[in-house]
Structure 1
């Protein structure tokens, strides 16, 4: 027969309610009793019925994480940080993506409104009225990654992308004689891409660098599309004394490879910088100058905020800002 909570209580010589308090990590059990109960659980090999506990406590001990995509190191690092912290705090993590064609609102409505998760961490690349309405109606605590949603009660973890972008472009312009910087960004409505583009405009204006209509390109954060764009333009970029600022490392790698394929030297003929500091940045040749984003820390911090919200539902919304950092390597020539 399966080991029951009654068996654990008998072996530990405590009540069933005491075992329940230990299982649910309540601090009202003294240290000696907690150790005795945990020893009995380990000796008997007891595994609590998660669903039964959830029904009794009206808690599933499952947290939801919804991301724009699950592909690539940027998202995998967020998942890694969130998963490790959730496990440390006694929760399981349910992960999915918000599908671009339906904007993910059906998924978020399902996990938020049907008791599947105790709380939800959401990263949204584009805020639509449909997404905003879905989040507004959510009945569980919410943490928004990398943005804010007007009219929705939530905590948030955001990256200070502006500071890192400005530091990188100033570093580049103070050390190289550049007449032009080409921006290769993500989709035109993407929140991250817009923030990086705004900082780009701020620094180019500061240094008197003119930005023409052919200097800003909106792609999809993918290597292939950046390679194709650069393959058609690197010769002209190099002739005009330009550098390329790609809004993520993967696109920067595509630009570098296209330049090398055209027999241009990076950074001598064409300086290239990226963003995120994923492993790609250290794998390119030359190694990529970029801006480090604390991806894993972002995931862990979101779980912390969510669990803090469980303990204090009425506290004011918390916005945690994580810093980005300039990482200088070889691709910028400075």
Structure 2
């Protein structure tokens, strides 16, 4: 612990102390803290120097009482496990700090009946706005979101009948680019789909695009070519142990709807004495770090996870400042990233 930290613990530094040190009024200190642009640069630097010297940490609750804003935003995710969610959090947290907000993070289980989401959201009297990533849209989710009366941004989905801004990923374009690459460049004639739960928003969109592209190319999709798991490595590995030999015998390509499941299938093939891509080509989705840790490296679709979090905070702050503006739906692009797991040379193609 530094000397400054010890002094901060021993002495409660007030906004008046900062004002005295910088030789300005309390209102000027408040303007600097709230990122107001009406303070000239020399004064701003003097106030920031006083804040640093004194180790002053503003009390967000006291500020909230004065400003009727807490400068806290809420972020609710289906899970906090895995790189996908950690990247969303990272992007959201960085942007929130840049804009002068703190971030409160909660999670709910994927198969929530609405009560857990409501518990995570709470009354949210402490937050100025809320960003919620939903994994499925149902009547209970919709009813829960309808109860939220503060600015709301929905990530990775759109809830009809609920007033909100949204940030979505262009899933279809990413899947189309990936599968056309397999069909046109890798001569795939059978593609197996391994997705998440049937009710999962991402799974629904990726499966629809899969069916569209395979039908367009005249590829048969048998009843046993579509599997629904839980986006986890372990369950994909278990499925792979049972199926990789059959898939290899049928000369199938495997499209796993995220990189973790793709890695599980590659490892199951290796355990069965099969080679990727020679015996069983495998591709994924998201382009998490897992994609560069598999051997061979994974062909996948890059999803701007961090940008999704940052964009949600941008929309939320805009809504806090202007509650009456029209709703905004922001769609983020994906990139096809070709590596060795499908048997093609590495390239990155922006969709």
Shift of 1:37: 2.1
Note the residue ranges of structure 2 that are not aligned, 5 or more in a row: 1-10, 345-351
Q: CA–CA distance in 2 between the matches of 1:191 and 1:110? A: 20
Alignment of 1:95-134 (within 5 A): 95-100=105-110, 102-103=112-113, 105-108=115-118, 111=121, 113-134=123-144
Aligned to 1:60: 70
2:192 counterpart of 1:178 = no
DSSP-derived class of the 2:224 partner? coil
Note the residue ranges of structure 1 that are not aligned, 5 or more in a row: none
Aligned to 1:164: 174
- Of 144, 148, 153, the residue aligned with 1:143 is 153
**In the TM superposition, what whole-angstrom CA distance separates every residue of 1:76-105 from its partner, at most 9, and x where no partner exists?**
111111111111111111111112454454
Q: CA–CA distance in 1 between the matches of 2:242 and 2:297? A: 23
Shift of 1:196: 0.6
**2:214·2:221 contact (CA, 8 Å) conserved in 1?**
yes
Aligned to 1:308: 318
- Distance change >3 Å, CA 228–CA 106, structure 1 → 2: closer
- Distance change >3 Å, CA 72–CA 104, structure 1 → 2: farther
Aligned to 1:279: 289
Q: CA–CA distance in 2 between the matches of 1:99 and 1:84? A: 25
- Of 226, 231, 245, the residue aligned with 1:216 is 226
**In the TM superposition, what whole-angstrom CA distance separates every residue of 1:143-194 from its partner, at most 9, and x where no partner exists?**
1111101111111111101111111111111123333111000000000011
Shift of 1:118: 1.1
DSSP-derived class of the 2:154 partner? strand
- Distance change >3 Å, CA 14–CA 300, structure 1 → 2: same
Q: CA–CA distance in 2 between the matches of 1:105 and 1:318? A: 27
Shift of 1:285: 0.7
**1:111·1:117 contact (CA, 8 Å) conserved in 2?**
no
Aligned to 2:209: 199
**2:114·2:140 contact (CA, 8 Å) conserved in 1?**
no
**1:85·1:300 contact (CA, 8 Å) conserved in 2?**
yes
Mean alpha-carbon deviation: is it higher for 187-196 or for 8-17?
Answer: 8-17
Alignment of 1:17-32 (within 5 A): 17-32=27-42
- Of 56, 59, 71, the residue aligned with 1:49 is 59
**1:3·1:44 contact (CA, 8 Å) conserved in 2?**
yes
DSSP-derived class of the 1:27 partner? coil
**1:112·1:120 contact (CA, 8 Å) conserved in 2?**
no
Q: Tell me how many residue pairs correspond in the alignment.
A: 334
Query: If the length of structure 1 is used for normalisation, what is the TM-score?
Result: 0.95
Mean alpha-carbon deviation: is it higher for 36-45 or for 256-265?
Answer: 36-45
Q: CA–CA distance in 2 between the matches of 1:107 and 1:269? A: 44
Q: CA–CA distance in 2 between the matches of 1:100 and 1:323? A: 25
Q: CA–CA distance in 2 between the matches of 1:111 and 1:99? A: 13
DSSP-derived class of the 1:214 partner? helix
Q: CA–CA distance in 2 between the matches of 1:91 and 1:14? A: 24
**1:112·1:140 contact (CA, 8 Å) conserved in 2?**
no
Shift of 1:5: 1.7
Aligned to 1:228: 238
Q: CA–CA distance in 1 between the matches of 2:116 and 2:275? A: 48
**1:109·1:134 contact (CA, 8 Å) conserved in 2?**
no
**1:157·1:322 contact (CA, 8 Å) conserved in 2?**
yes
2:89 counterpart of 1:85 = no
- Distance change >3 Å, CA 114–CA 255, structure 1 → 2: closer
Q: CA–CA distance in 1 between the matches of 2:190 and 2:58? A: 62
Shift of 1:34: 2.1
Aligned to 2:348: none
